[in-house]
Structure 1
Amino acid sequence: MTLLRNPVLRGFTPDPSLVRVGDWYYVANSSFEWFPTIPIHRSRDLAQWEYAGHVRGAVPGDSLAGVPDSGGIWAPSLSRDGERFWVVYAVVRSVGTAYFDTDVFVSTAVGVGGEWSAPRRVAGHGFDPALFHEGGRLWLLNLQNDHRPGGRRFSGIVLSELDRETLAPVGGTHLLVQHERLIEGPKLVRRDGWYYLVLAEGGTGFEHGVRVARSRAVTGPYALDERPLLTSRDDPSLPLQKAGHGELVQLPGGEWVLSHLTARPLDTGGGPRCPLGRETAVQAVVWDEVGWPRLRQGGHHPAVEVDVPTARALPASPALLDVPAGPPPGDGREELGWPWSSPRGYPDPSWADAHTRPGWIRLRGRHGPESRWAHSLLAQRITEHRAEAEVTVEARPRTFTQAAGLVLWYNTEAYVSLDVTWAEPEGEEQQGQQWQGRGRTVLSLVEREESATRQAAVVDVDADGPLTLGVTIDDVEARFWYAVGGAARTAVGPVVDFSKLTDDYGTKLRFTGAMVGIHAVDLVGGAFTADFSGFRLNCR
């Protein structure tokens, strides 16, 4: 047996969709507004995972410019029909409205790290689509959204058959199940003559769970199990919270597992918060005497440690292991692939250059950090509650409209940045007038939370040489610092509340996770550049 420790994918990896191909397992996760779109990891034993590629081209035009925070690609569903991998997903362009404004797309590939077909739009009723393959037939599951005044935004699960070649609907739409509690994220699996509908229940927060329904016919009607398969909502002391959004998969030896999302909360004065975002976990499943799935450990609480059968050693399959290191060669972006991510578009050589100065990344400043269009930001996921990040930056800003530095990032309304920028001579009011040749280079620590932005500290620095900027995270506390050459670290500003960079803070819907990265801003000319080297993120 192999002992896995949950979460198996740590940090911002929500809505896992698990598929087994032979003795290999693949998980696709939501990417929301981030690129690369739909990251995919692989494993031989469900315990150790590695990045395996992503669904390149998932968004037509490779742009999500303008989508709101936590919009973009929601809950991709990965499947295989014996010949190809399939992925279906929704691009959500409105968050917090009745409409969602979704486009549902399907793409296919022979290997997850290879070339994916151009996305084809299908008629979808809402987000959280999934595909079910059986006997050469293709079925599309969807959440039904009723946007009308008085309607239910989560109005049940529907099923439509699609033509395998054209992806056009075949026949009518079938209502499978409705429930007084919010249900979404449908997945279908067949066992012993039953069709099992696995549902996310209760929303994506601390009330989340997994509920199962079943039917003798794929088109229903489906009867709900009277008890949840998985949830943490009744015990706030559990180390794994928000457990939900599951998918059942059978192992080579006949055993079953459930992939699901979860989160690890921090205790704060404002209640439990999960700045690492929603993560991927795996549970062992057995079937009871009347044919319902149950957690092997009993009850419905997620386990941190789970024994799963040890994988057999099999020769690699070239078709399945086609895993390039990053974007296709020749476009200047290889060095800026995973684990780097960028919001609303891929890193483009016009603003993220890893070639001009070997060993350095040159960022050209564009929009400010609250832009949903063209913010020059590269970031990596924070995977543990204790972490440290640092980077060396060379930048010579000449105006307050230019800045570059290290940023703790959740979204455009929740971030903390330590930037090299320009300020008026000490003691003078903020008047601009940088064109007069006066002013100084400073480090500015700025904290943003929803509608409020505050400058927490300003420190004079020497602009003629490189500066090392860093942040140390210890549970809820984040401390920024800088160093010049080999000198000791100098603290900048007060302790920052890291737990505010989370789904669980503020008044708006949030679905991603905390990240740390580098960025550059030039609000006037769009020509200011900053060079970064030695980026290091250590999570422990």
Structure 2
Amino acid sequence: MALTRNPILPGFNPDPSILRVDDDYYIATSTFEWYPGVQIHHSKDLANWDLIVRPLSRKSQLDMRGDPDSCGVWAPCLTHDGDKFWLVYTDVKRKDGSFKDAHNYIVHAPAITGPWSDPIYANSSGFDPSLFHDDDGRKWFVNMLWDHRRRPLLFAGIVLQEFDPKAEKLVGPKKNVYQGTDLELVEGPHLYKRNGWYYLLTAEGGTAYEHACTLARSRDIWGPFETHPQKHILTAKDAPFAALQRSGHGDIVETPDGKVYLVHLTGRPTGQNRRCVLGRETAIQEAYWGDDDWLYVKNGPVPSLFVSLPGTRDDTAYWAEQKYSFENGLHKDFQWLRTPETDRIFSCEEGKLSLIGREAIGSWFEQALVARRQVHFSYDAETVVDFSPSDERQFAGLTAYYCRFNFYYLTVTAHSDGQRELLIMSSEVSWPDGGLEAPGSEAVQIPNEGKVKLALAVRGPSLQFSYGLDGGEMTKIGPVFDASILSDECGGHQAHGSFTGAFVGLACSDLNGTALRATFDYFTYRPAHDPTDRYDP
């Protein structure tokens, strides 16, 4: 056993659902509007994790065009019934206001890498579904209930109904089995069975700084469920100076030798404004069953930055420079936004990435933006682009991106007279409205022919762009921007409505509708050690 620093999945990896099959551990996390849907990581020792599959990868399973920011795939649950893997998930089409259009689906596969089935529609009465396989062979579908009539809080409790895998539908009665505690906003349910008890683990308090894991139990699956004597087995809501904040939405796993662990989402705020640029991450805590048959988090309920795990983490790859070429297609680190029709937004040809200019950056329908997660508080990124715009409605380049409301974008574009230029687009001046009342800096004229190197450097809360021509010296462009607005707390809906994390990548738009292409030679992501970062080991 060795001490490992949390989080175990750094960067945007929220709502973890953990599963052990024999000696293999798997964690599924939410991906929201990023495609393909759901990330599944694999580990042998709970310390070292590798992304092995994104199972929702075709149009018949998932099409998120039109899904607003922080909608799309919410809170997957990954389980195994002894025969096959099951994954349930929500595709949220609207989340703001009184109504939530949240459609719940079930897919299954004989192996973790697939093939994953087409989805079985379950219901649309709420979100955060899970599937519980009882020891008598029956399967139970659990999700929170949304009631638009309840004011001001619209969370109505946790609903249980049986799922018939042969009929591929929910059957029989349904019942609201648990309404949560006075912390409210009960969601994220997972069911377990142990020593004749049914345990219901839920998330409460919203996804910001009041977040918590709440446990309840009953002798009957239909309830009534009794709340844990501590109420919340994990939370940082009463510990504002703890390193791991916003902690909740958890799941439980047991090792072959009987040790128990709780995985949960968390955030690591920085600065006086407490902004979580890396979004909601996955952490792990050691837990144990007490003599009273209740689960307790070791040294809890406040989450620990360090935890004892079976394995010792190797951080070599985490701190290594990643230079991506495109000879073998798009690397697994990259995702794009919403659309399953990738041939309309990018292709990999002759070792390069070709982005097809579509809608503007921030579109909820079809934009050519390919990016990877920011998983360090400080890093450098660069690329070389070949792009020949004819006017100001065509632009392509390098972007640090959170959502349509929050991004920085160094573009190769052109003046209305056809003269090529560099221009920074920034939503900083109009945050949180997401407008572009003014460019982020004055345009810089560049030759109409030739490739351009684009780069950015993030050092904690600061972001600086630079560029180079024809292999020449790099030159800074624009002011030093506030990198901290690329965070949940500044995502246009504040902390309770923005759920993803910062990305960095490549984009191309053609507002003329002529699908002008931009070609990128490579993309480099280089972690940087920041001596002011308290999380930097």
For the criterion TM > 0.5, the same-fold answer is yes
Once the two structures are TM-superposed, the CA of residue 439 in structure 1 deviates from its matched residue by: 4.3
Of 518, 529, 533, which residue of structure 1 is paired with 2:521? 533
Q: Distance in 1 between matches of 2:60 and 2:475?
A: 46
Return the offset for 1:342.
Answer: 0.4
2:509 equivalent among 513, 521, 526: 521
CA distance in 2, matches of 1:525, 1:78: 41
Structure 2: give runs of 5+ residues left out of the alignment.
313-325, 529-537
Query: For residues 302 and 309 of structure 1, what CA distance do their matches in structure 2 show?
Result: 18
Contact 1:2 1:47 in 2 (8 A): no
Q: SS state of the match for residue 155, structure 2? A: coil
Report 1:397-436 matches (<5 A): 397-423=389-415, 434=416
Out of 240, 243, 247, the position equivalent to 2:247 is 243
Q: Hey, what's the Cα distance between the residues in 1 that align with 2:470 and 2:368? A: 26
- C-alpha displacement at 1:346, in angstroms? 3.8
Post-superposition offset of 1:205: 0.8
CA contact (8 A) 1:208 1:242 kept: yes
Q: Decide which of 333, 350, 358 is 1:339's aligned counterpart.
A: 333
Counterpart of 1:326? none
Q: Distance in 2 between the 1:447 and 1:507 partners?
A: 14
- Most deviating of 458-467 and 131-140: 458-467
Q: Matches of 1:121 and 1:334 in 2, distance apart?
A: 35
Cα offsets for 1:431-477 (capped at 9, x unmatched): xxx3xxx3421110111134232312122222321111011111111
1:447 to 426, 442, 450: 426
Does structure 1 conserve the Cα–Cα contact (< 8 Å) formed by 2:204 and 2:213? yes
Structure 1, residues 363-400: CA drift from partner, whole Å, max 9, x if none? 11011113111111001000010111111111111111
Match of 1:125 in 2: 125
1:501 matched to 2:503? The reply is no
Aligned equivalent of 1:267: 271
Q: Partner of 1:234: helix, strand, or coil?
A: coil
SS in 2 for 1:527: coil
Moved more, 226-235 or 39-48: 226-235
Task: Name the structure 1 match of 2:259.
Answer: 255
The reply on whether 1:456 has 2:444 as its aligned counterpart is: no
SS of structure 2 residue aligned to 1:229: strand
Residue 113 of structure 1 deviates from its aligned partner by 1.2
Q: Does 1:351 align with 2:345?
A: yes
Report deviation, 1:163: 1.1
Determine the C-alpha separation between the residues in 1 that align with 2:376 and 2:137: 43
Normalised to the residue count of structure 2, the TM-score between the two structures is 0.90
Counterpart of 2:158? 157
Aligned to 2:484, the other structure's residue is in SS state helix
Give yes or no for the alignment of 1:373 onto 2:373.
no
Q: Quote the residue 1:146 is aligned against.
A: 147
Counterpart code for 2:419: R
For residue 464 of structure 2, the aligned residue among 473, 476, 479 is 479
| Cα separation, partners in 2 of 1:170 and 1:529, compared to 1, 3 Å | closer
Counterpart mapping for 1:47-196 below 5 A: 47-57=47-57, 60=60, 62-134=62-134, 135-148=136-149, 150=151, 152-179=153-180, 180=182, 181-196=184-199
Identity value in percent: 37
Residues 374 and 502 in structure 2, CA contact (< 8 A), matched pair in contact too: yes
| DSSP 3-state at the match of 1:105 | strand
Q: Which amino acid aligns with 1:536?
A: T
Deviations 1:299-334 (A, max 9, x none): 3111122112349xxxxxxxxxxxxxxxxxxxx996
Residues 310, 455 of structure 1: alpha-carbon distance in 2 compared, 3 angstrom cutoff: closer
Structure 1 contact 388–539 (Cα < 8 Å) conserved: yes
Give the secondary-structure state (helix, strand or coil) at the position aligned to 2:52. Answer: strand
Distance 1:223 1:420 in 2: 60
Paired residues of 1:393 and 1:405 also in contact (CA < 8 A): yes
Q: For 1:288, which of 266, 287, 290 is the aligned residue?
A: 290
- Kept in 2, the 8 Å contact 1:263–1:277? The answer is yes
Gaps of 5+ in 1: 312-331, 424-433
How high is the TM-score relative to the length of structure 1?
Answer: 0.90
CA-based RMSD:
1.8
Match of 1:318 in 2: none
Q: Which moved more, 1:124-133 or 1:337-346?
A: 337-346
The Cα shift of 1:213 comes to 0.4
Does the 8 Å CA contact 1:58/1:118 hold for their aligned counterparts? no
Q: Deviations over 1:199-244 (max 9, x none)?
A: 1110111111111001111111101113211111112211111111
Residue in structure 2 matched with residue 314 of structure 1 by the alignment: none
Q: Is the 8 A contact 1:333 1:347 kept in 2?
A: no
Query: C-alpha distance in 2, partners of 1:21/1:61?
Result: 25
Q: Distance in 2 between matches of 1:261 and 1:61?
A: 25
